[in-house]
Amino acid sequence: MNMQQFQASLVQQTPAPGLSAALRALWWDAQDNWAQAHAQVDDLDTPQAMAVHAYLHRREGDLTNAHYWYRRAGVSPRQDSLEAEWTVLVERLLLTNDRA
């Protein structure tokens, strides 16, 4: 799946089959369903899931919690827009998802 296909899938009722939990979280985030997005990554310890977890808390406005998850993910806190961070996360995760 590429970014165009991922974005096209946003009109569906549920995420496309075969997406990683981190990609499902970003899919639900794009649906404005923060709780469902958070549930996808809440208990995962992969760097990718922790980066998405950080993004979700940043989006929520809980910067202290977001910074905690950025540290756990091993990445610096993002300073760009939420939309830009979402796009970068999806693009990176799609590359990883295709190799999984």
The mean pLDDT value of the chain amounts to 95
Q: How far apart are CA 86 and CA 94, in angstroms?
A: 12
pLDDT 10s digits, 62-76: 999 999 999 999 999
Task: Note whether 45 and 18 are within 8 A (CB).
Answer: no
pLDDT 10s digits, 29-60: 999 999 999 999 999 999 999 999 999 999 99
State the pTM of this model.
Answer: 0.94
Please tell me the total number of residues recorded for the chain in this structure: 100
Which band of pLDDT confidence, cut at 50, 70 and 90, is reported for residue 100? very low
Q: Where are the alpha helices (DSSP H) in the chain?
A: 3-8, 21-30, 34-41, 47-60, 63-73, 82-99
Q: Which residue has the higher pLDDT, 20 or 99?
A: 20
Which band of pLDDT confidence, cut at 50, 70 and 90, is reported for residue 98? low
